[in-house]
């Protein structure tokens, strides 16, 4: 592993705990303020290496140079992806223990700001090779744990997913912190800033924002919502817990398969459940009609209806939990299998109550 420190004779080996922590929330929610405080605290109290990448600090200057007009959303998207590419170059250097090279196609101003951002946090050093677009990593960059905090609005789930994919590609820890702050407070804080974001942008974002949703998206399970007020010690503990969990449980490629399988299972079982529910209802009412036609005594009719409805509920409950007894193969549940199984059990019950009045 070659680092700037190695050049001075130091050696750097150790557990490769690297994590990406994504901050999201409305403009003015206090993300940058929080990121600064958190990184300071983690460095001081835990001795972690921390890098904060505040997108606003790196991206706008690129536009000042390349375009005077306000960028279109599609341009922002491309720039965000380009910045993520820079991060990937840094991560590759960290993981492989080599120097960080510059990506071949890059927006000069943004790359420069990115390098300044890393240098200011003692993650890369000026090196003699700098003229050739190579940067040596510092001792901080190769020490562990290393946490990179990405500070942007990340108001769409798709924006956050790009970061998750990066974490997965390199088996890194991944977590999300959502800074919860009322629209009024964001507008008020924003209004007091020298370079305020247009208020209508904040209104629009408040309407569009997709908060982390761990129930819906398995990949977002490592997320925490915190209030944008001065951090209580309890909130601070929760944040540390989230970060430790992420660092100790790097994202694995396999998770995607599990996630996909789980999604498939839910879609499949939802469809199966719906179809099964409809069909079983029809079978029960048809069976009851036949029993009446056969003049089953009213008392038995009542018991028969109770038993059939109970059986139907049990079947649906089992299906909901993926009970394997209806599976013809290990993976797929067919409604036809469920129905024939139900018919079999239903016939047994019908037989019990089919005695006609004497």
Rounded Cα distance between 266 and 41, Å, is 42
Interface mask (CB under 6 A) for ligand ATP, residues 194-213, using x and -? ---x----------------
Interface mask (CB under 6 A) for ligand ATP, residues 136-165, using x and -? -----------------x------------
Region from 1-9, 205-213, 222-230, 254-262 binding ligand ATP, contact rule CB under 6 A: 222-230
Does 292 sit near ligand ATP (CB under 6 A)? Answer: no
Does 193 sit near ligand ATP (CB under 6 A)? Answer: yes
Rounded Cα distance between 84 and 59, Å, is 11
Does 30 sit near ligand ATP (CB under 6 A)? Answer: yes
Q: Which of 213, 229, 260, 355 binds ligand ATP (CB under 6 A)?
A: 229
Region from 6-14, 44-52, 192-200, 207-215 binding ligand ATP, contact rule CB under 6 A: 192-200
| CB closer to ligand ATP out of 3 and 32 | 32
Does 250 sit near ligand ATP (CB under 6 A)? Answer: no
CB of 117 to ligand ATP, least distance (A): 14
CB of 164 to ligand ATP, least distance (A): 20
The size of the interface with ligand ATP (CB under 6 A), counted in residues, is 17
Q: What is the 3-state secondary structure (H, E, C) of the chain?
A: CCCHHHHCCCCCCCCCCEEEEEEECCCCCCHHHHHHHHHHHHHHHHCCEEEEEEHHHHCHHHHHHHCCCCCCHHHHHHHHHHHHHHHHHHHHHHHHCCCEECCCCCCHHHHHHHHHHHHHCCCEECCHHHHHCEEEECHHHHCCCEEEEEECCCCCHHHHHHHHHHHHHCCCEEEEEEEECCHHHHHHHHHCCCCCCCHHHHHHHHHHCCCCCCCCCHHHCCEEEEECCCCCHHHHHHHHHHHHHHHHCCCCHHHHHHHHHHHHHHHHHHHHHHHHHHHHHHHHHHHHHHHHHCCCCHHHHHHHHHHHHHHHHHHHHHHHCCCHHHCCCCCCCCHHHHHHHHHHHHHHHHHHHCCCCC
Does 28 sit near ligand ATP (CB under 6 A)? Answer: yes
| CB closer to ligand ATP out of 160 and 189 | 189
CB of 215 to ligand ATP, least distance (A): 25
| CB closer to ligand ATP out of 58 and 284 | 58
Tokens coding 299: 């008392």
Q: Which of 31, 160, 168, 346 binds ligand ATP (CB under 6 A)?
A: 31
- 37, 158, 234, 319 from 259: Cα distances, Å: 34, 16, 31, 20
CB of 146 to ligand ATP, least distance (A): 22
| CB closer to ligand ATP out of 221 and 238 | 238
Does 188 sit near ligand ATP (CB under 6 A)? Answer: no
CB of 58 to ligand ATP, least distance (A): 12
Rounded Cα distance between 52 and 343, Å, is 63
CB of 231 to ligand ATP, least distance (A): 8
**Residue showing the smallest CB distance to ligand ATP in the complex:** 30
Does 168 sit near ligand ATP (CB under 6 A)? Answer: no
Does 56 sit near ligand ATP (CB under 6 A)? Answer: yes
Region from 22-30, 61-69, 212-220, 332-340 binding ligand ATP, contact rule CB under 6 A: 22-30
Does 51 sit near ligand ATP (CB under 6 A)? Answer: no
Rounded Cα distance between 186 and 168, Å, is 33
Contact status, residue 49 vs residue 147, Cβ threshold 8 Å:
yes
Does 32 sit near ligand ATP (CB under 6 A)? Answer: yes
Residue 297 CA neighbour count, 13 Å, CB half: 8
Residues in the site for ligand ATP, rule: CB under 6 A?
25, 27-33, 56, 153, 189, 192-193, 197, 228-230
């Amino acid at each position: 592993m070659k680092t700037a420190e190695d050049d001075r004779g130091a050696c750097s080996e150790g557990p490769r705990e690297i994590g990406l922590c994504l901050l999201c929330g409305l403009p003015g929610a206090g993300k940058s303020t929080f990121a600064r405080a958190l990184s300071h605290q983690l460095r001081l109290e835990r001795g972690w290496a921390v890098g904060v990448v505040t997108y606003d600090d790196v991206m706008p200057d690129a536009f000042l140079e390349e375009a005077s007009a306000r960028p279109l959303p599609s341009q922002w998207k491309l720039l965000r992806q380009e910045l993520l590419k820079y991060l990937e170059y840094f991560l590759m250097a960290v993981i492989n223990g080599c120097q960080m090279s510059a990506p071949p196609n890059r927006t000069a101003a943004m790359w420069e700001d990115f390098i300044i951002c890393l240098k200011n946090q003692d993650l890369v050093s000026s090196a003699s090779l700098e003229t050739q677009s190579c940067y040596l990593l510092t001792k901080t960059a190769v020490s562990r744990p290393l946490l990179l905090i990405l500070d942007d609005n990340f108001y769409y789930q798709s924006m956050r997913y790009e970061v998750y994919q990066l974490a997965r590609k390199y088996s890194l820890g991944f977590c999300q912190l959502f800074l919860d702050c009322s629209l009024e407070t964001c507008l008020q804080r924003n209004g007091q800033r020298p370079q305020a974001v247009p208020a209508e942008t904040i209104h629009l974002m408040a309407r569009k924002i997709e908060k982390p949703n761990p129930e819906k998206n398995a990949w977002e399970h490592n997320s925490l919502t915190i209030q944008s007020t001065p951090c209580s010690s309890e909130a601070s503990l929760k944040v540390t817990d989230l970060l430790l969990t992420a660092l100790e449980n790097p994202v694995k490629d396999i998770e995607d398969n599990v996630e996909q399988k789980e999604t498939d299972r839910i879609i499949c079982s939802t469809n199966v459940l719906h179809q099964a529910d409809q069909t079983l209802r029809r079978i029960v009412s048809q069976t009851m009609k036949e029993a009446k036609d056969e003049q089953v005594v009213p008392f038995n009719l009542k018991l028969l209806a109770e038993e059939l409805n109970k059986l139907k509920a049990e079947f649906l409950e089992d299906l909901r939990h993926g009970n394997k007894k209806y599976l013809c193969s290990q993976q797929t549940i067919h409604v036809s299998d469920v129905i024939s199984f139900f018919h079999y059990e239903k016939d047994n019950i019908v037989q019990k109550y089919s005695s006609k009045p004497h």
